[in-house]
Amino acid sequence: MIRAAALVAGDGALLQGILDSIYFKEFPDFKLEAVICPRKEDYAMVRAIRADIPSFVVDPDLFPTSISHSMAVANKLKDMDIDLVIIAGYDVSLGVIPYQFKNKIISTVPCLVPAFEDLDSDEDVVAAAINRGVKLTGATAYFVSEDGGIGAIISQKSIPVLQDDTPERLRARITEECEWKLLSSAVTLYCEGRLSFRGSRVFIKD
C-alpha cells in the first residue's frame, strides 16, 4: 500500500483530479493519508474536507524562515510514514522536503519542458506560450529534483494553442486536458512500480 500525501494551495484544481481518480478507484494499492496546505482559507482545503481526507494547515507565517517551515512539513510527512508526495498547486518553497523524499515527489508544470521552464510561476509560463506564438503547449509530469526544481521527466501531453486563447482560458484547458491526466497517470505508474531510473532519465516498464 502506497501511503501518499498531497501538498496543495489555491483553488485545489489539481487536487480535484487526484480526488476524482480516488473516487473512481484508478490508483492500485493507494491511500491519500493527508492533504497539507499553507493556508486554511484556500479552497483546496474545502475540497479535501468534503472528500473526507485528513487535512492540515502548516502556516509559513508561524515560522522564522522558509527552511524551518519546510522542515516542519517534512517532519509531518515522516510522522505519517508517507511513501509518495504529490504536489498539487503548492505555492510555498519546498526547502528541505525534496532532500528527504528523493525520487518520491511527483509534480506537474503547464509547459512542455524544456520550453519556458525557467519562468517563476505557472501564470507566467502560460502567458509566455501565448506571447511567443507557439502552436503547441501542454504539461509535463516529473519527479521533483533535490533542489526543488524540475527533475526527471515522467510523461508529457500536448494541446494546440488556439488563436483566441487568453492566458486564463489556456491555463484551464492545460489543467483539465493535460495536468489532471498526467498527474493521475504518474501516480498510477508509481503505485504499480513501473517507473525506473537510468541516470537522469525515467523509464516506464511495460
Residue where a domain stops, chosen among 101, 134, 163? 101
> Whole-model pTM?
0.97
Boundaries of domain holding 90: 1-101
**pLDDT score, position 90:** 97
Assign residue 145 the CATH number of its domain. 3.40.50.170
Nearest-10 Cα torsion for 166, 171, 173, 174: 140
Q: Assess whether 23 and 96 both reside in one domain.
A: yes
User: Burial letters for 11-39: b for 16+ Cβ neighbours within 10 Å, e otherwise?
Assistant: ebbbbbbbbebbeeeebeebebbbbbbbb
Element (H, E) at 153: strand 150-160
Q: pLDDT grade, residue 48 (50/70/90)?
A: very high
Q: pLDDT grade, residue 120 (50/70/90)?
A: confident
Instruction: Tell me: pLDDT of 67 over 90.
Output: yes
